[in-house]
Amino acid sequence: MLSVKGLSVAFQTRKGQVDAVRGISFDLAPGETMGIVGESGSGKSVTSYALMRILDAGGRISAGEVTWTGTDLRAASEPAMRQVRGREISMIFQNPRAALNPIRKVGHQIEDVLRQHGRATRSDAQAKAIEALEAVKIRNAAERYHAYPFELSGGMCQRIVIALALACDPKLMIADEPTTGLDITTQKAVMDLMRELIHERGMSSIVITHDLGLAAEYCDRLAVMKDGQIVEAGPSAALFANPQHPYTRKLVDATPRPGVAIRDLLPPEIRTPDLPHEVGSRALLEVVDLVKTYPGKSGPVHAVKGISFTIREGQSVGLVGNPVAGNPPRRRCWCGCWTRPRARSCSMGTRLAAFRRNASCVTRAGGRCRWCFRTRPTA
Amino acid sequence: MATRWLPILWRLVQTIPVVIGVVIISFVLTRALPGDPAVQFAGQMATPESIEQTRVALGLDKSLPQQFLIYCKALLQGDLGRSVATGRPVLTDLSTRLPASLELTLTALVLSCLIAIPLGVLAAVRQGSWVDHLCRVLVTAGVSLPTFFTGILLIYVFYYLLGWAPSPLGRLDFVYFDPPRVTGFFLIDSVLDGDLRTFAGAAKQLALPAITLALFTLAPIARMTRAAMLTALSSDYIRTARAAGLTPRKVLFGYAFRNALLPVVTTLGMVFSFVLGANVLVEKVFAWPGIGSYAVEALVQSDYAAVQGFVLAMALLFVLINLVIDLSYTLIDPRIGFSSK
């Protein structure tokens, strides 16, 4: 169905020509799901852009052949290419919120695609767009039709992007890092939805990801890319169980499983010894029934609903949860420098909750308790 | 529907303190100006007694707070005072001169938008092409040539050498009569009157000063359009739109341009308010009876009432322009709502 032979993509930059993709070949059968795995900069996304011929200015296919159901996509005219894009091959992207036009209603964006490919007329476009939204299991599709991307969650935006991609019943869907920028539970929901829709419609798909575990779970076949070349390819299970190329082995090792720590990713020779450390008995931070509420538009928002834990000397405690679960307010509560939390007791030798918003107290607490914030990917 | 208008009403209410502040500041600032208006208006042959007389007549012998109260009381009755220089009420002066300035500025801005926005869009789409270079040259020329220079150059070429333009003396050649006043805009009033000859006369008179100002305002608008378009075109949603097979026209105008419009509108508002005050040089060169030259004359002669009237009028205009820009934001970008402010 899709056949790629010796595809190379080169970018003209100020520092000269950069070969992003160097002679890769693969075939895709109807109904097959293939995963392209590799680290960022390995050329996996560029490959997909090249297939669609939507490379940025300066990029061009320098060699190779791309054949799509008998048509040579490299030689196809631009108008012919537009017929392929969206109708035969469609794409979904990472960072779904940014992938949608921020100032156009999502329903209208779907209508644009439907009408471009003659799937709807002015009169029935709205109904068909709502159908497309329902197809990706969006509840209250008629209401969501009028929503703007900023009013929707990341997972919801990705569903819209999928609806957009599937609106014209393409035969192949390319998903470029479809879960990047989503939190972990949404990732699974989105991937399951995608798999279901693809199977339902008998489509082929290419999943591009840096996450080998994810690719192995959802794809029939994998190709591992590094520096613009495919270093290893094969059925997912075999590749995962018995990686041949050292790079694939590294990737397999890097896939999180219980009992594997970050330090296991390092080559054994540069690993620092795992020093045994003492967990003291003295409680440094003791949090008892911490409650934090914010004034919200519709009543107070309970960000933290009575949590308790203790950090002892030398101990590390991980707080795990979805981004909405309220970690940052909790962190701020400890030091009492946000607003005074309502906690029965929150002690570090001193009762932090009893602090007024007194600068010297906060500074003292801050001096003994440091925290680093993660940087949030800007949407 | 009521909920929709409420924020706009609230936005209007917010402008009240601004206006009050402007009234106070303009009053204090004019009082802080060097020069004694009493001396100025008593004339060359004044004796200390006649100066004192003038001072009392102008109400300048009273304390500052008293003067301010008198000024505010008059202001509430719509009385901006009387200009000592022209001898007419300031309100009358402003109402003839402000439309002149507005007509000039608006024409210039429309002209400049008609050129700058397509130029900016083209320069962004064809980055590095001759259009891009042309844009760069025009922008550089536009900012680096001072308006009085371009004005004089245009007069020299089109009036003196070619004789295409009428003499650069005001809004209408003396062979025409002023059209009956409706809006104060000669172009509109003459059309309303059905007098196309006067319209042509006014348009001819307006052409050179408007082009001069347009050349000056071209630069920021073209530059902002180009930058905003480049940002928009490199966004993820453009790639999505292209991957969905939308036509380049749809991608460019439906997706990129609308997103690029926001900074362009901001720039437009800034340029408008800026030019309205800064076109005094153009008004001088073309003997345009606008508000800028009026204000400068008033300042030179320590004409308190006229200066205060000018500052107040400009402030109200600024408030109005900002309001219009804010409102157009909400039309362009659904993410911007008044409620979030």
Judgement on whether residues A343 and A255 belong to the same structural domain of the protein: no
String of b and e for B36-61 (b: at least 16 CB within 10 Å)?
ebbebbbeeebeeeebeebbeebeee
> For residues B197 and B179, what is the distance between their CA atoms, to the nearest angstrom?
11
Q: A346: which strand partners?
A: A287
| A274 domain residue, yes or no | no
Pick the last residue of a domain from A205, A233, A262. A262
> For residues A168 and A132, what is the distance between their CA atoms, to the nearest angstrom?
9
Summarised one tens digit per residue, pLDDT across range A27-53 is: 999 989 999 998 888 888 899 999 988
Q: Are B61 and B70 in contact (CB under 8 A)?
A: no
Kindly determine whether residue A112 and residue B334, on different chains, have CB atoms separated by under 8 Å: no
Kindly determine whether residue B245 and residue A112, on different chains, have CB atoms separated by under 8 Å: no
| Residue with more model confidence, A372 or A302 | A302
Question: Mean per-residue pLDDT for B320-336?
Answer: 81
The share of chain A scoring above pLDDT 70, in percent, equals 76
Residue numbers in A near B250 (CB within 8 A): 112, 116
Kindly determine whether residue A101 and residue B241, on different chains, have CB atoms separated by under 8 Å: yes
| A140 domain residue, yes or no | yes
Q: What is the pLDDT of residue B340?
A: 40
Enter the tokens of residue A277: 């450390």
pLDDT for A330 beyond 70: no
Summarised one tens digit per residue, pLDDT across range B176-230 is: 777 777 777 888 888 888 888 888 888 888 888 899 888 888 888 998 999 999 9
Q: What is the pLDDT of residue B229?
A: 92
The share of chain B scoring above pLDDT 90, in percent, equals 11
**The complex's ipTM?**
0.73
Judgement on whether residues A74 and A139 belong to the same structural domain of the protein: yes
Q: What is the pLDDT of residue B4?
A: 60
Q: B3: pLDDT confidence band, cut at 50, 70 and 90?
A: low
> For residues A33 and B157, what is the distance between their CA atoms, to the nearest angstrom?
71
Which residues, at least 6 apart from A168, have a Cβ–Cβ distance to it below 8 Å? A86, A87, A90, A113, A114, A117, A119
Q: What is the pLDDT of residue A356?
A: 44
Q: A74-83, B108-117, B164-173: which range is least confident on average? A: B164-173
- Would you list the domain boundaries of chain B? 96-287
pLDDT for B11 beyond 60: yes
Kindly determine whether residue A85 and residue B334, on different chains, have CB atoms separated by under 8 Å: no
Judgement on whether residues A252 and A300 belong to the same structural domain of the protein: no
Judgement on whether residues A222 and A292 belong to the same structural domain of the protein: no
Kindly determine whether residue B239 and residue A54, on different chains, have CB atoms separated by under 8 Å: yes
Full DSSP string of B116-160:
HHHHHHHHHHTTTSHHHHHHHHHHHHHHHS-HHHHHHHHIIIIII
> For residues B168 and B204, what is the distance between their CA atoms, to the nearest angstrom?
10
Residue A212's Cβ-side half-sphere holds a number of Cα atoms within 13 Å equal to: 26
Q: A314: pLDDT confidence band, cut at 50, 70 and 90?
A: confident
Q: What is the pLDDT of residue A376?
A: 44
Distance from CA of A164 to the nearest CA of B (A): 8
| Residue with more model confidence, A252 or B239 | B239
Q: Looking at the partner chain, which of B242, B258, B333 has a beta carbon nearest the beta carbon of A54?
A: B242
Judgement on whether residues A238 and A111 belong to the same structural domain of the protein: yes
Q: What is the pLDDT of residue A361?
A: 45
Neighbour tally for B175: CB within 10 Å: 9
> For residues A3 and A25, what is the distance between their CA atoms, to the nearest angstrom?
8
Question: Mean per-residue pLDDT for A270-293?
Answer: 72
Q: What is the pLDDT of residue A339?
A: 36
Kindly determine whether residue A100 and residue B237, on different chains, have CB atoms separated by under 8 Å: yes
Residue numbers in A near B240 (CB within 8 A): 91, 93, 99-101, 161, 164
Indicate which of B236, B250, B253, B339 best probes the interface with A, i.e. most A CBs within 10 Å of its own CB: B236
Q: Are A89 and A68 in contact (CB under 8 A)?
A: yes
pLDDT for A110 beyond 50: yes
Residue numbers in B near A112 (CB within 8 A): 241, 244, 246, 250, 254
| H-helix segments, chain A | 44-52, 78-84, 96-99, 106-116, 125-135, 141-144, 154-166, 184-201, 212-218, 236-241, 246-254, 327-335, 359-368
Kindly determine whether residue B243 and residue A91, on different chains, have CB atoms separated by under 8 Å: yes
How many contacts (CB atoms, under 8 Å) link A and B? 79
Judgement on whether residues A249 and A291 belong to the same structural domain of the protein: no
Indicate which of A83, A103, A106 best probes the interface with B, i.e. most B CBs within 10 Å of its own CB: A103
Find out if CATH 1.10.3720.10 is the number for domain B96-287.
yes
Kindly determine whether residue A86 and residue B247, on different chains, have CB atoms separated by under 8 Å: no
Residue numbers in B near A102 (CB within 8 A): 237, 259, 333, 335
Distance from CA of B119 to the nearest CA of A (A): 20
Longest Cα–Cα distance in chain A? 75
Amino acid residing at A232: E
Summarised one tens digit per residue, pLDDT across range A8-26 is: 999 888 888 888 899 899 9
- Its domain, for residue A356, covers 283-368
Q: Looking at the partner chain, which of A56, A104, A116 has a beta carbon nearest the beta carbon of B245?
A: A116
Q: How far is CA A263 from the centre of its chain?
A: 24
Q: Looking at the partner chain, which of B127, B244, B258 has a beta carbon nearest the beta carbon of A90?
A: B244
> For residues B155 and B153, what is the distance between their CA atoms, to the nearest angstrom?
5
> For residues A66 and A9, what is the distance between their CA atoms, to the nearest angstrom?
12
CATH code of the domain containing A65: 3.40.50.300
Kindly determine whether residue A86 and residue B244, on different chains, have CB atoms separated by under 8 Å: yes
The share of chain B scoring above pLDDT 70, in percent, equals 94
Judgement on whether residues A234 and A350 belong to the same structural domain of the protein: no
Residue numbers in A near B332 (CB within 8 A): 103
Kindly determine whether residue B259 and residue A85, on different chains, have CB atoms separated by under 8 Å: no
For the CA atoms of A30, A185, A177, A81, the dihedral, rounded to the nearest 10 degrees, stands at: 50
Judgement on whether residues A298 and A234 belong to the same structural domain of the protein: no
Q: Looking at the partner chain, which of A91, A95, A103 has a beta carbon nearest the beta carbon of B258?
A: A103
Distance from CA of A338 to the nearest CA of B (A): 22
Residue of A nearest to B234 (CA): A56
Q: Looking at the partner chain, which of A57, A99, A148 has a beta carbon nearest the beta carbon of B236?
A: A99
> For residues A117 and A82, what is the distance between their CA atoms, to the nearest angstrom?
9
For the CA atoms of A307, A311, A315, A321, the dihedral, rounded to the nearest 10 degrees, stands at: 20
Q: Looking at the partner chain, which of A86, A91, A102 has a beta carbon nearest the beta carbon of B335?
A: A102
Q: B270: pLDDT confidence band, cut at 50, 70 and 90?
A: confident
Instruction: Name the percent of chain B in helix, strand, coil, to the closest 5.
Output: 75, 0, 25
Instruction: In chain A, count H helices and then E strands.
Output: 13, 13
Enter the tokens of residue A106: 């999502």
Judgement on whether residues A57 and A171 belong to the same structural domain of the protein: yes
Enter the tokens of residue A364: 């003292």
Residue numbers in B near A104 (CB within 8 A): 254-255, 258
Grouping H, G, I as helix, E, B as strand and the rest as coil, residue A231 is: strand
Looking at mean pLDDT, say which of A308-312, B306-310, B335-339 comes out highest: B306-310
Question: Mean per-residue pLDDT for A81-93?
Answer: 90
| A75 domain residue, yes or no | yes
Summarised one tens digit per residue, pLDDT across range A162-215 is: 999 998 889 999 999 888 877 777 888 889 999 999 999 999 999 999 888 888
Q: Looking at the partner chain, which of B243, B247, B255 has a beta carbon nearest the beta carbon of A101?
A: B255
Judgement on whether residues A103 and A205 belong to the same structural domain of the protein: yes
> From chain B, which residues contact A within 8 Å (Cβ)?
127, 234-237, 239-247, 250, 254-255, 258-259, 332-335
Distance from CA of A279 to the nearest CA of B (A): 48
Pick the last residue of a domain from A233, A262, A291. A262
Kindly determine whether residue A86 and residue B243, on different chains, have CB atoms separated by under 8 Å: yes
Whole-prediction pTM? 0.75
Residue-level length of chain A: 379
> For residues A104 and A113, what is the distance between their CA atoms, to the nearest angstrom?
13
Q: Looking at the partner chain, which of B239, B246, B334 has a beta carbon nearest the beta carbon of A93?
A: B239
The count of structural domains within chain A is 2
Q: B337: pLDDT confidence band, cut at 50, 70 and 90?
A: low
Q: Looking at the partner chain, which of A57, A87, A112 has a beta carbon nearest the beta carbon of B250?
A: A112
* DSSP state at residue A55: P
